[in-house]
Structure 1
Amino acid sequence: MGTAESSITVPFLDLALQHQPLQEELRQAFERVLQTQQFVLGPEVEALERECAAYVGLPAAVAVSSGTDALLALLMALGVGPGDEVIVPTWTFFATAGVVARLHARPVFADVEPWGFGIRTEEVERCYSARTKVVLLVHLYGQIAPEVEAIRRLCQQYGITLVEDAAQAFGAQYRDGRGVGQFGCAAAVSFYPTKNLGAWGDAGMIVTADGELAQRLRLLRNHGMAERYVHQFVGGNFRMDAIQAAILRVKLRYLPRWNQQRRQIAHRYNQLFREIGLADTAGAQEFDEANRVLLPAELYAGQVDMPHIYHQYVVRVRRRDELRRYLVARGIGTEVYYPIPLHRQPAFRALGYRQRDFPVAERLAEEVLALPIYPTLTPAQQEAVVGAIADFFRRYD
């Protein structure tokens, strides 16, 4: 296994290697768009919508300009506005709560569970009020939120709408085989370039079983326009361009293979950490002599093909920032998702939350570390990553 002195460098992400075998298919896709001369929406976008809907097993998909705009358009379509409250996890990317604030509604933050990083059902109950209109449930890092079914039932009981933020989980499956968009009214997906299915710019998608909602979203993304220059209501410019759709159509054909490769790489990481004595059990929640690295939990392993698609391979470690500096000095890229929970973001200071209000999120902010994971990552690179981490603990722990 590689050590800290290894000459192997490991970038956190390498998209160039992924795209090299696709060059001819991508060139043909560009030419299709040039020939149609429809650069915004049009047949290429419509084809992508059909293919994405089929991929997740839902009747409708609406292409939009980004994952953030997918969330924003969804909340607009649901009528979220001033006076409404939307329950969101404090442990997620800023956009999940940012779109709520943009509509002058109030984001109400909820803590998460530490093994799958999703909102806890008891937190939804704690946060619920007469003003609650939506629960925004995030499927983080590539796995369906662990308590999604209990939260779905709770939303039905209270008569509130469940929306799925599936920006990082396009292709993940719940234990019974259901995928994103099959729990709430719809799911918002991101095709940001670093995602498992990434465009060459911003792009997003909404997948849903609700045909009426899909039709309203198609109007919303184009200024509320039902026919040329006739606007039924105020929408926005959330349209996907055809070049991004063409790129995504090429890459979608490879997504099942890429997701499976990510799973194999994640399992190899787990094996290497066990072999070197840094971890004993995937999903362990407390540090001890047998678990100095807490490995990600794969909640539905053996029940479905894609219980976790590993958009990120996130471990938890003590002395995270020191370890990260050590790895960077040895040419190994890492990231922290996320260093600051949303309740402590300056933009939400006026909401009045205190640091001690969300103990799990606060702990995660000190411990999580994302390691390199992408389909072209080599076994030697993985050994270099794990070897360097082991060397750090031998020297400094």
Structure 2
Amino acid sequence: MNIPLINLRKQYETIKEEIDQAIQDVVLSTRFVGGENVAKFEEEFAAYIGTRYCVSVGSGTDSLILGIRGLGFSGDDEIIVPANTFNASAAGISENRLKPVVVDIDEQDYGINLEDLARKINSRTKAIMIVHLFGQSDKIDGIKKVIKKSGKNILIIEDSCQAHGAYFKNKRVGNFGAFSGFSFYPGKNLGAYGEGGAIVTNSAHLAKICRMFKDHGQITKYKHQVLGINSNLDALQAAILRVKLNHLDNWNALRRKQATYYTRSLKPLNRFVITPNQFPERKSVYHLYVIRVKRRNALLKYLNEKDIGVGIHYPTPLHLQKAYEYLNYKKGDLPVSEKIAKEVLSLPLYPELTKEEIAYTVNCIQQFYA
């Protein structure tokens, strides 16, 4: 049995007619940049998340870079970011010539460690980037309490690139900060057939300035009001995303069922395997199903030999990446992040995954630890 980490071909086969028609319509229209599909996707995605505005961009990374640029920070300003995340989270900060301040994570949910957060806040702290990792929201109320206790005017930025449709209490993520960045990389829960991203916000000013930043600094053609870049979601990707958005809630529900089946099936292995925790106020969309295991690298090799695709998210915390050595962190500074980086393993998970495939994966893990 061959089980990839994700299977985009299976997904395409379930919506082939809709996707093929959407692509054909764009090709026949010859409107490949901007146009109706992009405008309608922005409107539909904003409505789905529950925000007033959506500004589509060329990638999830650009959503963070341009969103932060729109907030107007400068000089010695700092933004706090958790250590266990993809590099793009920190890139959104560093590409704006701001300082990323890296905090340790919580061993229970892999989100921000509130005690370390409180220690790292200072007079230069302008924002905290919450990363809704693996499809689960972070503990937003706890983070807000730390901000309030600090007595400082600190904004929240949401990195929702892995959490399309996830909830915290009765709201979807993307509603809790100055803005939220989303990625539509092909492997995401809502993925394009190329690169894409979006900034969602309730601020008319921020939406306007980000729309200028992403289109050469212009709103009216050839009237360049600010310095900008070229970061557009093309019409083909927008058309594909419009089709997929209609299926997203169903796909997320299937992911939750699969995650529940994994967790139940792995319970007898709790001496070797730690499964993801669930929290009553959070509704995960399981972008990834991440376990923590003993002898991680050996298990990874064993599962690959059994034709099971697995991944590591992430093998090196941000503070130990060479790109950020100028921040002068060292091994031991963020012990939980460093420990978890040696243990995490992502198992196959996608809406079309079958119970038989999950059972085979779990059985192989059982054989490894037997």
**Poorly superposed stretches of 4+, deviation over 4 Å:** none
**Aligned to 2:176, what secondary structure does the other structure show?**
coil
- Residue in structure 2 matched with residue 384 of structure 1 by the alignment: 360
AA aligned opposite 1:253: N
Q: How big is the shift at 1:230? A: 0.7
Q: How big is the shift at 1:103? A: 1.6
The answer to whether the aligner puts 1:298 opposite 2:278 as a matched pair is yes
AA aligned opposite 1:131: R
2:220 pairs with one of 221, 224, 227: 227
> What is the CA–CA distance in structure 2 between the aligned matches of 1:51 and 1:352, rounded to whole Å?
43
248-257 vs 20-29, which moves further: 20-29
- Residue in structure 1 matched with residue 142 of structure 2 by the alignment: 150
> What is the CA–CA distance in structure 1 between the aligned matches of 2:45 and 2:146, rounded to whole Å?
29
> What is the CA–CA distance in structure 1 between the aligned matches of 2:44 and 2:174, rounded to whole Å?
15
**Aligned to 1:226, what secondary structure does the other structure show?**
coil
- Using structure 2 for the length normalisation, give the TM-score: 0.96
Give the alignment of 1:233-312 within 5 angstroms.
233-274=226-267, 277-279=268-270, 291-300=271-280, 307-312=283-288
> What is the CA–CA distance in structure 1 between the aligned matches of 2:78 and 2:278, rounded to whole Å?
32
**Aligned to 2:212, what secondary structure does the other structure show?**
helix
> Does the 8 A contact of 1:155 with 1:162 survive in 2?
no
Aligned residues: 368
Alignment identity in percent?
A: 40
Q: How big is the shift at 1:268? A: 0.5
The answer to whether the aligner puts 1:359 opposite 2:353 as a matched pair is no
> What is the CA–CA distance in structure 2 between the aligned matches of 1:266 and 1:377, rounded to whole Å?
11
Q: How big is the shift at 1:229? A: 0.6
AA aligned opposite 1:332: I
Give the alignment of 1:92-103 within 5 angstroms.
92-103=85-96
**Runs of 5+ unmatched residues, structure 2:** none
Give the alignment of 1:1-397 within 5 angstroms.
8-146=1-139, 148-155=140-147, 157-174=151-168, 176-274=169-267, 277-279=268-270, 291-300=271-280, 307-394=283-370
- Residue in structure 2 matched with residue 288 of structure 1 by the alignment: none
Q: Once the two structures are superposed, what CA deviation does each residue of 1:337-357 show, in whole Å capped at 9, x if it has no partner? A: 000001110111121111111
> What is the CA–CA distance in structure 1 between the aligned matches of 2:57 and 2:9, rounded to whole Å?
25
**Aligned to 2:102, what secondary structure does the other structure show?**
strand
Q: Once the two structures are superposed, what CA deviation does each residue of 1:73-115 show, in whole Å capped at 9, x if it has no partner? A: 0011012333221111111001111221122111110001012
AA aligned opposite 2:186: P
AA aligned opposite 1:215: K
- Using structure 1 for the length normalisation, give the TM-score: 0.90
> Does the 8 A contact of 1:293 with 1:316 survive in 2?
yes
> What is the CA–CA distance in structure 1 between the aligned matches of 2:72 and 2:147, rounded to whole Å?
17
> What is the CA–CA distance in structure 2 between the aligned matches of 1:250 and 1:53, rounded to whole Å?
15
Q: Once the two structures are superposed, what CA deviation does each residue of 1:298-332 show, in whole Å capped at 9, x if it has no partner? A: 112xx67xx01000000000110011111111111
> What is the CA–CA distance in structure 2 between the aligned matches of 1:253 and 1:177, rounded to whole Å?
20
> Does the 8 A contact of 1:149 with 1:183 survive in 2?
no
Q: CA RMSD in A?
A: 1.3
> Does the 8 A contact of 1:64 with 1:205 survive in 2?
yes
**Runs of 5+ unmatched residues, structure 1:** 1-7, 280-290
Q: How big is the shift at 1:153? A: 4.1
**Aligned to 1:323, what secondary structure does the other structure show?**
helix
**Aligned to 1:63, what secondary structure does the other structure show?**
strand
Q: How big is the shift at 1:225? A: 0.2
Q: How big is the shift at 1:160? A: 1.5
Q: Once the two structures are superposed, what CA deviation does each residue of 1:137-187 show, in whole Å capped at 9, x if it has no partner? A: 1000000002x122234445410111000000010001x211112211111
